[in-house]
Structure 1
Amino acid sequence: MKVELPAAFEDAPISDLVVLIADMLDRLMAHNDRIALSPQALTRFHSRSAPAISVIDYLRRITRFINVERSCLLVSLLYIDAICARHPLFTLSSLTCHRFLITAIAVASKCLCDSFCTNALYAKVGGISVTELNILEREFLHMIDWRLMCTREILSEYYTNLVRTNASGKYAIADDHSPMAVQPLRQPVPTQHVRPTIEQNMAFAAHQRGEG
């Protein structure tokens, strides 16, 4: 049975967004975990071993104990693409995903939201020390060159692609015939956007399932 989601990502249940994002990240990690890790590719986001907690449970933990805006969850996907575009050796894998997610959400909340939590809370919920989160945050900002802003239109594209390429195929976006103006979260990023690596992975997954 299809689960019909609202056309606007702002109205989508957080629980469904978590499922969609976790599904996409799991597929991306499964692909990247097959790539041999070279010493040059190591970053501060790499852990010595994959965390025991799954990505979906990690995201559920974060959204349970922290009031995370939907835009912050979606923009973390854009951040993955932006950093991978700037640093081709970096991959989101089972060794990097968890640290990347908590850092991306913390940074996005501070950039896009009027209110946000302290690093002490982000670190506690994320299962790392405050010192480590501070280091990861600085590394993150350096890797992305402080390019954190995003338009609502871009986030809507990510949301639509998440729904359309979900592995279970049970999600669909409700028809919405009411015009909705595209408004920026703050200001548009004054640079051109490269089409996401994540979108390419989604298209590849759809092709494997015989949908494209």
Structure 2
Amino acid sequence: MAEEEEGLTDAPRVVVVLSALLERVVERNDAAADELSAAVPGAAASLVTPPSAFRATARPDISVRSYMARIARFAGCSPACYVVAYVYLDRLLRRGRRRSLAVDSYSVHRLLITGVLAAVKFMDDVCYNNAYFARVGGISLQEMNYLEVDFLFAVGFDLNVSPETFGHYCAVLQAEMLCLELEAGPRLQSCCLSEDDGATTTSSSSSQQQLAA
């Protein structure tokens, strides 16, 4: 566990920023689920944990930060893949609102490994196969294959990311990075963001360079 935590020190900044953002989202959603469970005993489980291939039956022991460090250490993908994976997660959540899939302790790990796998295959010329990613993610090959297919259908096979959209998400992550560095200022409240191509607040190239550092 300690080795995984330390691995983030050598990871691209985008990995550190994305893990910090998702950790807060998970904490907020876990707290909301616990509050609902306390308010509506018995009925809450069906309300906050709808059936999904991405939901584990128990909360994994590894933290989001450690899991991201493990992916960064072994996946060998470009920093841009993490930005694209973030875009895919946003699209999945937006399209899946009717299923109310929440990014919480039960789902975040499977969403992450599958999102990164999809991004790597779309972005990088060379990548490891599903069996390798399954070992990195701590799941079986059969489950990895199933999650990949379910993920692709969940995003409507919409894997293309325009330069404008990519630049927008880079800007969002860069703003989050500045908040982490300054330990002050407003923080992002949700991992669901609007894909407004005109909302880019900083250039894609400069943002990507800073996030990849």
For residue 84 of structure 1, the aligned residue among 70, 93, 113 is: 93
For residue 192 of structure 2, the aligned residue among 176, 191, 198 is: 198
Q: Deviations over 1:67-87 (max 9, x none)?
A: 111121111111121111111
Structure 2 residues not aligned, in runs of 5+: 1-9, 34-43, 184-189, 195-213
**1:113 aligned residue:** 124
| Structure 2 CA distance for partners of 1:155 and 1:22, relative to 1, 3 Å | same
* 2:9 is the counterpart of 1:15: no
The letter for the 2-side match of 1:48 is T
| Structure 2 CA distance for partners of 1:120 and 1:29, relative to 1, 3 Å | same
1:15-54 correspondence to structure 2 within 5 Å: 15-33=12-30, 34-35=32-33, 36-38=44-46, 41-54=50-63
1:124-203 correspondence to structure 2 within 5 Å: 124-166=135-177, 169-170=180-181, 198-199=192-193
1:99 shift after superposition: 0.6
1:130 shift after superposition: 0.4
**1:74 aligned residue:** 83
The TM-score with structure 1 as length reference comes to: 0.70
Identity %: 30
**1:9 aligned residue:** none
Contact 2:94 2:192 in 1 (8 A): no
Contact 1:23 1:167 in 2 (8 A): no
**1:102 aligned residue:** 113
Structure 1 residues not aligned, in runs of 5+: 1-12, 173-195, 201-212
Inter-partner Cα distance in structure 2 for 1:30 and 1:119: 29
Q: Deviations over 1:76-101 (max 9, x none)?
A: 11112111111111111111010111
1:167 shift after superposition: 8.4
Inter-partner Cα distance in structure 1 for 2:29 and 2:172: 20
Inter-partner Cα distance in structure 1 for 2:46 and 2:182: 38
Contact 2:25 2:191 in 1 (8 A): no
1:168 shift after superposition: 5.2
Inter-partner Cα distance in structure 2 for 1:115 and 1:99: 22
Contact 2:118 2:148 in 1 (8 A): yes
The letter for the 2-side match of 1:24 is L
The letter for the 2-side match of 1:92 is V
Contact 1:164 1:171 in 2 (8 A): no
1:171 shift after superposition: 5.9
More helix by share: 2
**1:178 aligned residue:** none
The letter for the 2-side match of 1:109 is V
Give the total of aligned pairs.
165
**2:6 aligned residue:** none
Inter-partner Cα distance in structure 2 for 1:38 and 1:78: 28
Inter-partner Cα distance in structure 1 for 2:81 and 2:61: 24
The TM-score with structure 2 as length reference comes to: 0.70
Q: Tell me, what secondary structure is at the counterpart of 1:169?
A: helix
The letter for the 2-side match of 1:161 is V
Q: Tell me, what secondary structure is at the counterpart of 1:149?
A: coil
